[in-house]
Amino acid sequence: MTQIASRPDDLVLLDATLAGLADHFDRPAATSRAAVRDALAAYADGLGVDGLALRLEGHGLEGISVGVGTLRRAGTTPPHARDVGTADAPGPGPVFGLVPVVARTAGGPVGEVVSDPPHPGADALARGAGLVLDARLARASARAAVDRLRAVDEAARAVAGVLSVDRVLQVIVDRVRELVDAKYAALGIVDATGRIDRFITSGIARSTRDTIGEPPRGRGILGHIIRGGHALRISDIGTDPRRSGFPANHPPMRTFLGVPVTVKGRLIGDLYLTDKRGHEQFTEEDQRLVETFALHAGIAIDNARLHEQVQRLAVVEERERIGRDLHDGIIQSIYAVGLSLEDVPDLMEEDPDDARARVDRAIEALDKTIRDIRNFIFGLRPELLQGMALAAGLAALVEEFRVNTMVDAEVRTDELDAEALTSDDTGQLLIIAREALSNVARHARATRALIDLRGTPERVVLSIEDNGTGFAVEAARSPSHQGLGNMRNRAHAIGATIVIDSAPGAGTRIIVTLPRRDAATPGGEM
């Protein structure tokens, strides 16, 4: 058996050569290639050979082919070099020796080492280079596997957070196309009969889709996947006997990968990808990636559907609640007012004082009814507007705002005595806060918002501020922007002052100051 090296110096030179080779595989560049050549030259000198050439190739790695001495031009070995020669071998010219590298791919040997003349040290270099190549191929394979898993995880996270069915379908098809680097992708959603009733695409321009006409309905290859319920890879769909053909104006497509999308064992659709970039066809690894992603896609579609169903049910339940409350409370109150006024025409002659009193009571009742209706319009239950409900109402507003926007909102409140505000004060302050938060969501482009409620012995102070773009307060507003005017009118209606502090780029702060009602009563603390 050939020894790796015959002298201690040979081991050092061999180690330096292999280290340079490993560095080149990690960071392929002209400098690392030159370092390999220098190390190879030193090793050739150490072996006492006239020339040494090294060629290595590996899938997923940038190969290297270098030569020194009489084999300076690597890869140009004469035909007879494959015969291991001796000093007295026949034939003109120098004698060459070749040793195949032990690292292999599916296609066979991936490199060779050639020395001139043949030398046992070349065998040592070949085996060492093969080990380096094996290690780098394993590392590259592990890195590629990690990258693939990371890509699937990122794609799955992207679809998991989408709660609109239409939006999640488009995100799924866009992400799966990026996942395997396909030119085109599509997602077909099937109905109860297995026919495609929704077809979402990625990679095809809108103008092209419009010229194609009606989307596919599940014939040909697409229908084969739907009926079979299993993945399918095709190298050329133009020659596949299961095809039904492309409609007019359809872009040409060749390679194909189709994967079913299921939820709880039930087929809901299929992912289709065509024309993998830079490759002849989709690989088994591509299929595994798409199948893994299809599991997440099915869950995301199901979640989005459930979310929309819950939203619809919530709307229906809220409408029913408001209808019941209106019927049981407000409508009955209006009906009672009408009954109380039926006798007023007669009483105006018989008992004017009683008629006047009934009209006054009716007006008071209608005023209360109007306030209740206004509260329903703004989504506020009447019971939240009593006594100490301002803090609870603000908390509910902020929670709703936080759920429906991407703004980080916070509420800070003092506890107020029940007598500090009237129900009308509470309702108007809640409406002002709601209007201010609506402006933050629509116009401010803010990332944070804060509602602060503070009570002193004399007054209640409510402030709403954000870190958004701000605006010039005195600038003219268009007729469609009535929010600030509405807030001013509501503040004035309850005897409050309102200050709107804002400037471009400086955010906005709205401060409403209202006298405490209990501070104005006789005997109250000052």
User: Residue 507: inside a domain, yes or no?
Assistant: yes
Exposure on the CB side of residue 222, measured as CA atoms within 13 A: 25
User: Residue 77: inside a domain, yes or no?
Assistant: yes
Cα-trace Rg, the chain: 40
Helices (H), 180-283: 206-212, 220-228
User: Residue 399: inside a domain, yes or no?
Assistant: yes
Which burial class, exposed, middle or buried, applies to 272 when counting CB atoms under 10 A from its CB (0-12, 13-18, 19+)?
A: buried
Tens digit of pLDDT for each residue in 45-71?
888 877 888 888 776 677 788 888 887
Strands 256-263 and 232-234, sheet pairing: antiparallel
- Domain match, 305 and 443 both: no
CATH number of the domain encompassing residue 293: 3.30.450.40
User: Residue 235: inside a domain, yes or no?
Assistant: yes
SS3 286: helix
CA distance 444 to 440: 5
User: Residue 384: inside a domain, yes or no?
Assistant: yes
User: Residue 350: inside a domain, yes or no?
Assistant: no
Domain boundary residue among 294, 309, 324? 309
Is the Cβ–Cβ distance between 418 and 385 less than 8 Å? no
- Domain match, 31 and 170 both: no
Sign of CA dihedral 123, 128, 129, 135: positive
- Domain match, 508 and 451 both: yes
Strands 508-515 and 497-502, sheet pairing: antiparallel
Report mean pLDDT in 10-residue bins for the chain, 526 residues: 47 85 85 88 83 76 81 53 34 40 48 69 81 79 72 75 82 90 92 86 87 83 87 91 85 93 89 88 91 89 83 72 64 80 84 87 82 58 50 83 80 78 83 86 87 90 93 68 79 91 92 82 38
Give the DSSP H/E element, type plus range, for residue 508. Answer: strand 508-515
- Domain match, 166 and 121 both: no
- Domain match, 139 and 180 both: no
User: Residue 315: inside a domain, yes or no?
Assistant: no
- Domain match, 115 and 177 both: no
CATH number of the domain encompassing residue 487: 3.30.565.10
Question: Where in the sequence is the domain holding 440, given as residue range(s)?
Answer: 378-526
- Domain match, 508 and 392 both: yes
- Domain match, 471 and 438 both: yes
User: Residue 255: inside a domain, yes or no?
Assistant: yes
Catalogue the E-assigned strands of 172-294. Answer: 182-190, 196-202, 232-234, 256-263, 266-276
Token output for 259: 């994967």
- Domain match, 253 and 196 both: yes
- How many structural domains does the chain have? 3
Is the Cβ–Cβ distance between 35 and 20 less than 8 Å? yes
- Domain match, 402 and 525 both: yes
Tens digit of pLDDT for each residue in 396-443?
888 877 766 778 889 998 877 767 788 778 888 988 998 888 888 878
Token output for 219: 């014939």
CA distance 329 to 376: 12
**Alpha carbon of 496 to those of 243, 382, 455, 488: distances in Å?**
74, 22, 14, 9
- Domain match, 233 and 127 both: no
Query: At 459, phi and psi to the nearest 5?
Result: -150, 165
- Domain match, 61 and 199 both: no
